[in-house]
Structure 1
Amino acid sequence: MTDAPPAQATRNGGLALTVICVAQLMVVLDATVVNVALPSIRADLDFSLDNLTWVVTAYSLAFGGLLLFGGRTGDLFGRRRMFMIGVSLFAAASLVGGLANSEAMLIIARAAQGAGGAIAAPTALALLATTFTEPAARSRAFGVFAAMGASGGAFGLLLGGILTDYASWRWALFINVPIGAIVLLLAPRVLHESQGSGTKLDLPGAITVTAGMSTLVYGLTKAASDGWGSTSTVVTLGIAAALLVAFVAIEHFATHPLMPFRVFADRNRTGAYLIMLFLAAGMFTTFYFLAQYLQNVHGWSPVRTGVGFLPMPTTIMFLSVVVVRRLIPRIGIRPFLTIGPIFALAGMVSFAQLDASSSYWPFLGGLLLLGVGMGCSFVPLTMTAVNGVAPHETGLASALLNTGQQVGGAIGLAVFGTVFAHAATDRAGELGSGAGTATGQMEVFVAGQQSAFQAAVVVTVLALVASLALIRVNKVAPPTASPATTPGSDPAREEESARTAT
């Protein structure tokens, strides 16, 4: 079975877009939805403080480590099939996590959620790219999808706060079960299956890249907690580097590589991956530190904290769906990928000025600036990532964009977490015994946060540099008319056709 032609594929376009975007939002939400619930989880399951971080880390570890593998399975075995498998695993793991009665049970369930998300997220974007080929519909679809991805983290804080305060932390996981069931019920009715490429799965490449990416994310997490110079961090990152070098060597000689390096030949696509990497580092840092800032410094409840973040996802969704996706056909992609990092940079500068006496208004100003930056960036980044890619490799291109976001967030938390720790320690030393008072603790936290955001400013500058140096594309083209590799087709010829279409 080959993909349906565009007219047929978009017959239920609105419902198809809803199914894809709901699945994407569900996956993105769970990266942050448990953050505000961690104190409740610790008390309920008697977590140790060290193991509590694994509730978040286990998800990121599996998600980041398996993304390339998950995206490629859609290209090889059928995108709808793998999308449904990913959603099924995610929903089942959510149910187990909600029922967890021990540390180990919850951590394993969170890792299984990450594995399901690593399959569902890149296949969702690949389905979007091959389902919507008419320019106006494609632009609208990418706008909604990008808004879900960019704003999901902030919505996760809000939802986690509401469910934790008014129900239980368990409902932050249970809620995925009915949502996943609805997605699985509708997917076969509105999404068309693609035929696999017919090539074999590059098993050595899949094993080395999964092990390498997982070890890298783990090493970055250890850097945040133990420091960059610790033996555990150095050894773990060394192993990750060796595994990733081995992956590159395997891919160079593989007949059917998991990640053909020609996907990076397009400077615009490579630029999009780098911009996503740097912007995600800043965005994840914002959620992590400012959620604690509102609760620890200003004494806000989890629900109030979630509501306080609401202007950011609202801004992102408005710009992505209403403004940017309508203007891209007129003025192109490049202006937004210049404006977006500039606004994000202004937001990071604003956050670096916050202190214990700051009111909500400067906090809100920074949120709006960052929201405008992300709202301008995520639609064109998503479109650029799959622009001109051979249809049988859209899953790979999608996975790389998701990998950039996930690894960027992990790197950001590790680097900025280390900066935070050093600055906070220095401030505590200056305060002496006063660091143990409530006022002293706030000053210590604020000092660390300000230094972390100063470092985030530098990384956001790198996003702007990547945009100015690499992005040249202005218009994007849909996939070629044959959105899947059929038996007897020539992948190289399809790729060349897709590239020349732009």
Structure 2
Amino acid sequence: MVKRNLALATVALLIANFMGGLDATIVNTALPAIMSDLNGIRLVGWISSAFLLGTAVTTVLWGRVAENFGNKRIFQFSVALFILSSLLGGLATNMIMLIIARALMGIGAGGMVSIPFIIYADIYPNPAERARALGWVTAFYTLSTVVGPLIGGWLVDVLSWHWVFLINLPIGIISMLLLQVTYHDPVKTTAKQPFDYLGAGLLSAALIILLFASDGLAVSMTRSLVLLGIGLLVLVAFFMVEKQSNHALLPLELLKNPRVQVQNVMMFLINGFMIGYSVYAPMWAQGLLGKSATLGGLTQIASSILLLVGTRLTAHLMGNLSYKKIVFFGTLSVLISALAMTLATKTAPYWWLIVSGGFEGLGMGLAFTPMQVSLQDGVQRELISVSTTFGLLFRTLGQTFMASIFGAVLSLRTATQAAATNGKITTGMINKLSDANTAQQLPTSLLPAMRTMLFNSLHTIMLISLGLVIISFILNLVRKAPVKQPR
């Protein structure tokens, strides 16, 4: 591949990555306005979790489909689905319509996010060059998360939250067209492999049932436990099918590599904390501190900038330190962030949120790249594609399930506290409190009590997040690093 086309193809993939990062920060910034406008505190968790579920369910599937139909074609199809469903989200008039749009966006994002990593492994066979390319991936993602809160806050304050979805259309079209003229899939010398439809169906069903189980915590513990049991049984059936399949969606030799899979568990856990911070820090700033949507979004700025710093630093450290040691410093930084959010009081200053986000971003920047390279270099060549997408699946699952659980915790804690006021304070009033603009319509005398209720709910979320990070930190201390496989 000539250098010019290599650079332009990389830019095309980076633009898609930029769009994915932009979507995350913009939507998180707009959540309080959406919750207030559509009266959606009960379903607010689904705005994130429906998107992440679509991504999680399809991440591995996109990689397998691309093996038969080509990475380029499937990547472009996934981007097209993402921008069309963004249009649907921009036109949404109720929570159900918006959640459906977010699920479709997540399905598109599953391919839009995972397939580029497979293409990078193809066009950058040298690990050092690939690490630099992955550094640019994080840089573009970070850039999107820096400008995302600014753009999102401005769109919400000046126009409306609908525009945080419509902005995806021109960006996605540019990415598709640029890749079309610069990148060509390598000619495959092997026949198409049968697709594991049964395995794909069982995995999708298990993840969907488990997500409903986590969301059901806000309604009925019994229903949640029943769904959890059913989901686990379907997951067991999935592994039994994969064990017998000659063309398994997830080959058992990959699942039997504990040195690789412990990293996936760690990424699940720290990404669970990351979604907790990125979704609820803006709500904390607006609901508790009375800041605007723009300032709520700016809580993510330090996280975004230091994510870039951590990633660029990692590219230099990987030649001098072991991957495990770099991940140690990364998880330690995330642990400091989680402790800061847990120790924050109701009257904690605005800068406290920003500093906490800085440690979170630095830690994620240090931890992600070495673990991502290890997931690829620690398996045989024929497993690189599925190991890559499986790793991305675990990252997404961490965000998916924790977004749903956090949403259920927020809803349950808020409803319980509101019920204790005998109708004096309602969940609808908490909806309005979460958006600084609509909070002005609330009785001034009730604001302290409502902010206490919101703080109690957010504090519970941060306590759960801290537990996740502690477990990840300990796992990194006791694990053995993957062994690099010959190429």
Q: Distance in 2 between matches of 1:155 and 1:276?
A: 25
Query: Are positions 1:401 and 2:387 aligned together?
Result: no
Change (3 A) 1:85 1:244: same
CA displacement 1:59-105 (0-9 Å, x = unmatched): 22322222221222122322122111111111122123323455554
> 2:299–2:353: 8 Å Cα contact kept in structure 1?
no
What secondary structure does 1:248 align onto?
helix
Deviation at residue 370 of structure 1 after TM alignment: 1.5
From 198, 201, 207, the counterpart of 1:213: 207
From 369, 373, 381, the counterpart of 1:379: 369
Q: Where do 1:61-210 residues align within 5 Å?
A: 61-101=53-93, 103-148=95-140, 156-194=148-186, 195=188, 198-210=192-204
Partner of 2:318: 328
Output the amino acid matched with 1:207.
G
> 2:317–2:326: 8 Å Cα contact kept in structure 1?
no
Q: Distance in 1 between matches of 2:143 and 2:257?
A: 28
Q: How many pairs align?
A: 466
Deviation at residue 30 of structure 1 after TM alignment: 2.8
Change (3 A) 1:28 1:390: farther
> 1:251–1:257: 8 Å Cα contact kept in structure 2?
yes
Q: Structure 1 vs Structure 2: percent identity of aligned residues?
A: 24
> 2:53–2:400: 8 Å Cα contact kept in structure 1?
no
Change (3 A) 1:19 1:197: farther
Q: Distance in 1 between matches of 2:467 and 2:47?
A: 29
Partner of 2:264: 273
Q: Distance in 2 between matches of 1:198 and 1:428?
A: 58
Output the amino acid matched with 1:413.
A
Partner of 2:290: 299
Deviation at residue 52 of structure 1 after TM alignment: 5.3
Gaps spanning 5+ residues in structure 1: where?
Answer: 1-7, 477-498
Q: Distance in 2 between matches of 1:49 and 1:359?
A: 25
Q: Distance in 1 between matches of 2:468 and 2:150?
A: 27
Change (3 A) 1:28 1:248: farther
What secondary structure does 2:343 align onto?
coil
When the two structures are superposed, what TM-score results if normalisation uses the length of structure 2?
0.86
Partner of 2:16: 23
What secondary structure does 1:358 align onto?
coil
Deviation at residue 168 of structure 1 after TM alignment: 2.6
> 1:59–1:114: 8 Å Cα contact kept in structure 2?
yes
> 2:49–2:401: 8 Å Cα contact kept in structure 1?
no
Deviation at residue 166 of structure 1 after TM alignment: 2.5
Deviation at residue 394 of structure 1 after TM alignment: 3.1
Change (3 A) 1:157 1:197: farther
What secondary structure does 1:168 align onto?
coil
What secondary structure does 1:275 align onto?
helix
Q: Distance in 1 between matches of 2:415 and 2:456?
A: 9
What secondary structure does 1:329 align onto?
coil
From 435, 438, 441, the counterpart of 2:450: 441
Deviation at residue 433 of structure 1 after TM alignment: 10
What secondary structure does 1:500 align onto?
coil
Q: Distance in 2 between matches of 1:189 and 1:157?
A: 32
Partner of 1:58: 50
Q: Distance in 1 between matches of 2:105 and 2:325?
A: 37
Deviation at residue 380 of structure 1 after TM alignment: 1.0
From 251, 255, 274, the counterpart of 2:246: 255
CA RMSD of aligned residues (A): 2.9
Output the amino acid matched with 2:346.
A
> 1:311–1:368: 8 Å Cα contact kept in structure 2?
yes
After the TM superposition, which parts of structure 1 deviate over 6 Å for at least 4 consecutive aligned residues?
421-436
Change (3 A) 1:89 1:432: closer
Gaps spanning 5+ residues in structure 2: where?
Answer: 426-444
Q: Where do 1:460-471 residues align within 5 Å?
A: 460-471=469-480
Deviation at residue 363 of structure 1 after TM alignment: 2.3
Q: Distance in 2 between matches of 1:402 and 1:149?
A: 15
Q: Distance in 2 between matches of 1:411 and 1:95?
A: 26
When the two structures are superposed, what TM-score results if normalisation uses the length of structure 1?
0.84
